[in-house]
Structure formats: C-alpha cells, structure tokens
Amino acid sequence: MTEHQPSKLGSTRCGNAVFNWGQRTYVMGVINVSPDSFSGDGLTDVEGAIAKAKRFALEGADIIDIGGESTRPASTPVSIDEELRRVIPVVEKLAKEISVPLSVDTYKLEVARRALEAGANMINDVWGLKKESMLALLAAQKGVPIVLMSNQRESPSQDIVPTVISDLRRAIQQALAAGVPWENIIVDPGIGFGKTQKQNLEILRRLEELKVLGRPILLGSSRKSFIGWVLDLTPEQRSKETAFLPPGDQRLEGTAASIAIGIAKGADIVRVHDVKEMARVCRMSDAIIRGV
C-alpha cells in the first residue's frame, strides 16, 4: 500500500450525504435529459425529469446522476450551450426540492462548473480526464467527489482488464496531482465504452481486480448493449411482439444479474435506470455478500 492506498476505502462526503464504503452498495439513479438516450428513457422536459428524480429518491436512490448528452456509440455531441440548457434547470430545481445529492454526468468543464454552482455535488466524467483535465482542478476547488471512468472508444485494447486498471491508475494520479483528496475519487471500468461485448463480460467477471486501485468501484452495466447481445435482444434479434418497446425495457433481468454479480465481485455503487428494482437487488445481494 502507498500513502494514498489505505486498506479500507473509508468514507466520501457528497452534499449532505456520507458514503461509508463497504457497509452497503449505493444506488445512483440515472436521469437522461437527452432525447437520444440509448436506453430509451430520455426526457426532454424539466418537469418530467424532476418528477422522475423525486420518484427515484423515494425508491431508494442514494444519488441522482443528471446528463444532457447521450453517451451511446456514434451519438452526435451536443454544444456546451445546448447541454447547459438541458441540465442546469433540472439541477437548480432538484437541488431545492430533494435532499438526495446530485451528480452531473459531463466531460465539459463549463457544464460541470455551472452544474456545481446550481447545486450538484459530484462530477461523473466518462472520459476519465482525457478530454478535460481541468475537471480535476474544479473538483478539488469545489471539494466534490469525481467519478473517473476508463473509456476505450478512441483506443481499443486487446487485453482489456490490465488496460482499464492502467488507465484508471493514470486518472487517479492526475486527480491527486490536481489536489483532489484521495477519499473523493471513485473509479468506473466503463462498461460499454470502447469494449467489445466479450470484454464487457470479462470486466464483470474480473471486477475484483480493480480493488488494487484502492478506491470504490462504480458499476454502470444497466441496460447496456452487452445484455441485449447475451439475451438475443439486440434490435436485429427482437421479435415483432417486442420491437416497439424501448430496448431498456427488455434488459431488466440481465441488468439485475450483472449488478448482483458485480456486487459479489466488489462493486460499491451501481448506476441504474430502474431504481426500485435494482435497489432491491442491491439489498438482497448485500444481505448475502456483506451480511447486512
């Protein structure tokens, strides 16, 4: 262990909440305020997003993650102004109306800065500081946690788990150098981001290897395409009876399995689209794995 790698993960303060890592699995509910979300749950109106976030809070979400740009493969990037237009009104209103902490899902510095000013309590960077290194300095200045994801969309790898660990180690050191406290760093292997379907399964199977990094692990497997691939539920494979349904509606059971196994393999927080159901999966898995 180095001086930055204690044997226990400790705690992370996020807004008014404290995440005591290892005691239970925490649930991050996804609010997509983008019309082209891969999971079919994108919202285009502020009130709809507010209502959904409030429901998630009642269903057991420990944190709400708000994103204004789709991260599905081949999606079209949106401008900073458009992302601000989508995200900031939702953050502003939610910060006043619910006590659950808020995360902003963005890799753009100005969006993250404005979201924190509006009341967000965490930055979720799907590029792990590769696109915008200043996000680490912003997190340090504002004293908020930051999620660092390993994203291979611009650099595919044949040996995926060592690549992910190396990439996350680079991001952690970058965040520390910018002044982010050790306890404010969370890592995410980036299921679905530049990995093959087999690699996504391999990451889940070997998730405990990320524990070498000494930081809590966020797992974002919810509704991802590898579930459709395994269960023959890709757009090409779906039957006429289910073709009209959003793809995410067909991946609930597969998501539940991935989360249960992910918790057994060391996940500390799960990012999900179906909070009520997955909070129950977490509770049951924790009873078995953690004895709580």
DSSP notation for the chain: --TT--SS--EEEETTEEEEBTTB-EEEEEEE-STT-TTS----SHHHHHHHHHHHHHHT-SEEEEESS--STTPPP--HHHHHHHHHHHHHHHHHH--S-EEEE-S-HHHHHHHHHHT--EEEETTTTSS-THHHHHHHHHT--EEEE---TTS--SSHHHHHHHHHHHHHHHHHHTT--GGGEEEE--TTSS--HHHHHHHHHTGGGGGGG-S-BEE--TT-HHHHHHTT-STTT--TTTTTS-GGGG-HHHHHHHHHHHHHTT-SEEEES-HHHHHHHHHHHHHHHT--
At which residue do the structure tokens 């459709």 appear?
Answer: 228
Which one is catalytic: 52, 114, 215, 224? 224
Tell me the pLDDT of the chain (292 aa) as tens digits: 344 444 489 999 999 999 999 999 999 999 999 875 444 445 668 899 999 999 999 999 999 999 999 877 767 889 999 999 999 999 999 999 999 999 999 999 999 999 999 999 999 999 999 999 999 999 999 999 999 999 999 999 999 999 999 999 999 999 999 999 999 999 999 999 999 999 999 999 999 999 999 999 999 999 999 999 999 887 655 444 444 445 556 899 999 999 999 999 999 999 999 999 999 999 999 999 999 8
pLDDT of residue 64: 98
For the chain, give every domain's residue range.
Answer: 23-289
Residue 42 confidence (pLDDT): 52
Q: Is 271 a catalytic residue?
A: yes
Write down the pLDDT at residue 245.
47
Which residue, 238, 281, 229, 245, is CA-closest to 26? 281
202 phi, psi to nearest 5 deg: -65, -40
pLDDT score, position 247:
52
Are residues 22 and 289 in contact, defined by beta-carbon separation less than 8 angstroms? Answer: no
What separation, in Å, do the N-terminal and C-terminal C-alpha atoms of the chain show? Answer: 28
Backbone angles phi, psi at 274, to 5 degrees: -115, 85
In the residue annotation, 224 being an active-site residue is answered as yes
Note the pLDDT of residue 73: 72
* Model pLDDT, residue 241: 44
Domain 23-289: which CATH number of 3.30.479.30, 3.20.20.20, 3.40.50.970, 3.30.1490.20: 3.20.20.20
